[in-house]
Amino acid sequence: MTTRRRIALALIIIATIALDQGTKAVVRRTLMNSYPVRRGVLTLLHTENPGAFLSLGADLPPNVRHLIFDGLVSIGLLAAGFVLFTGRMQPGPDDVAIALIIGGGIGNLIDRFRLGGRVTDFIYLQAGPLHTGVFNVADMAITGGVLWLALSWMFRKKPA
């Protein structure tokens, strides 16, 4: 992997973290003690989630949540960063997906360490009976990266 590619991937990670933390700071400042803001299918509201995406694991005991969401996630992000930046994976579009996952993971970890194990969520989408849980920019980066990898691996040409 070239130095230029490493710098580009590092910038994707940094930009993802900055966008995530910036939007969360604005939400905590403007929506913490106010009513949700509804605009069509989009609702902005301040919530603090002790679980993972869509509150997965929120009901686990605090020490188990800490072990999984702080400890194991940190180890996973370090491993992904090691693989990404040491040339252990082929350069190509998939490394962008890994960078998005790392950036989103770090964004949510920053919240967990700053907010006592909770993550600020603020985006809710609803169109008729279809709706999401409440999520944030980091969740979008992680989900986008995972979907990117899944689709990439699904449609990858097998060597003959």
Active site residues per annotation: 121, 139
Work out the percent of the chain whose per-residue pLDDT is above 70.
99
115-150: per-residue pLDDT in tens?
999 999 999 999 999 999 999 999 999 999 999 999
Lowest-confidence region among 12-21, 26-35, 49-58: 49-58
| Six-digit token string for 5 | 């590619």
Name the amino acid, one letter, at 135: F
Confidence of residue 160 (pLDDT cuts 50, 70, 90): low
102-118: per-residue pLDDT in tens?
999 999 999 999 999 99
pTM of the model: 0.90
Say which DSSP state 51 is in: S
Beta-bridge mates of residue 124: 43
Q: Please give the mean pLDDT across all residues of the chain.
A: 92
pLDDT at residue number 62: 85
43-66: per-residue pLDDT in tens?
999 999 988 877 788 888 888 988
pLDDT at residue 90 tops 80? no
pLDDT at residue number 123: 96
Confidence of residue 30 (pLDDT cuts 50, 70, 90): very high
The distance of Cα 147 from the centroid of its chain, to the nearest Å, equals 12
Alpha carbons 50 and 56: distance in angstroms, whole number: 9
Alpha carbons 29 and 99: distance in angstroms, whole number: 28
Alpha carbons 150 and 104: distance in angstroms, whole number: 17
Q: Is 144 exposed, middle or buried (0-12, 13-18, 19+ CB in 10 A)?
A: middle
